Chain A
Amino acid sequence: MNNKNENFMRLDFPSKSCNESFSRAAVAAFASQLDMNIEELADIKTAVSEAVTNSIVHGYRGIKGIIHIECRISGDSITVTVRDEGRGIEDVERAMQPLFTTDRDGERSGMGFTVMQTFMDKLSVDSVYGEGTTVTMTKTIGGEADGDFGEI
């Protein structure tokens, strides 16, 4: 592990939809210190937007709350944790199925978790019904030879 490339940041903000664009941009700005291409950066931005939107739309549906983001860079990986203290998910496995949504009369497509899963390398969802949800996602920056290996 390369000590040079250890960093983290935290962000707390109220569950207002205007914070969706702010929070994904903030994570992308932090993530961009890893040497990644535009597509990888866009993937992280999109996944964060899904998790934050879920906390606002489902976690804190009809109520106000705080959303907590933590980002950790370690070597050539970034882990983003998005946490809410909202309603929680009754059945996480079912919620993660493509096209599954509890938003029956709305127009949700049920694709948020699928986007997170596809655009990040690792996704885990911890939820306690009635207490809240924590989404943890990791992306390892691949691509061309990274300088970190050549330092010995």
Chain B
Amino acid sequence: MQINIEIIGNTLVAKLFGELDHHCCDEVRAAVDREIERGRIKNLVFDLDGVSFMDSSGIGVIAGRYKKIKEFGGRTLIIRARPQVDRVLELSGIKKILECG
């Protein structure tokens, strides 16, 4: 999995490429948490346009980051989910909690 981190103002944009499963969720968790812990960002955007597959392990990673961001009063947004990814997001109920565009 390739992870591109970009900071725009106080928002972290994490662009993911590849398949977001249990095998690579540690990598995504570490990359995003590193930025959260630096304390420079408030909001988080997951750009999933490059994610060709995701399962419930991906839901766990996204939900975990959402909780951390929320602790500091920030917002989490998911953008550009492809159909397979969107079906898993939908089923998990996470779309009702955070924002999806």
Cβ-based interface call for A108 (8 A): yes
Cβ-based interface call for B36 (8 A): no
Whether the pair A17, B22 counts as a contact (CB closer than 8 A) is yes
Chain A residues with CB under 8 A of B57: 53, 108
Whether the pair A20, B21 counts as a contact (CB closer than 8 A) is yes
Whether the pair B88, A115 counts as a contact (CB closer than 8 A) is yes
Whether the pair B64, A53 counts as a contact (CB closer than 8 A) is no
Whether the pair A107, B60 counts as a contact (CB closer than 8 A) is yes
Residue in chain B with minimal CB distance to A112? B56
Report the stretch among A42-50, A84-92, A132-140 that lies at the interface.
A42-50
Q: Which of B19, B22, B53, B88 contacts A57 (CB 8 A)?
A: B22
Chain B residues with CB under 8 A of A115: 55-56, 88, 91
Whether the pair A114, B91 counts as a contact (CB closer than 8 A) is yes
Whether the pair B22, A111 counts as a contact (CB closer than 8 A) is no
Cβ-based interface call for B41 (8 A): no
Q: In the assembly, what is the distance between CA of A20 and CA of B1, in Å?
A: 13
Whether the pair A107, B91 counts as a contact (CB closer than 8 A) is no
Known contacts being A42-B83, A46-B55, A106-B60, is A111 close to B91, with CB within 8 Å? yes
Q: Which of B33-59 contact A (CB under 8 A)?
A: 53, 55-57, 59
Other than the known A50-B56, A111-B56, what 8 A-B pairs have Cβ atoms closer than 8 Å?
A21-B19, A42-B53, A42-B84, A46-B88, A56-B22, A107-B25, A109-B63, A112-B55
Residues of B within 8 A of A (CB): 19, 21-23, 25, 29, 53, 55-57, 59-61, 63-64, 83-84, 87-88, 91-92
Residues of A within 8 A of B (CB): 17-18, 20-21, 24, 38-39, 42, 45-46, 49-50, 53, 56-57, 106-109, 111-112, 114-115, 118-119
Nearest first, the 4 closest Cβ-Cβ pairs linking A and B are A17-B23, A107-B64, A107-B60, A42-B84
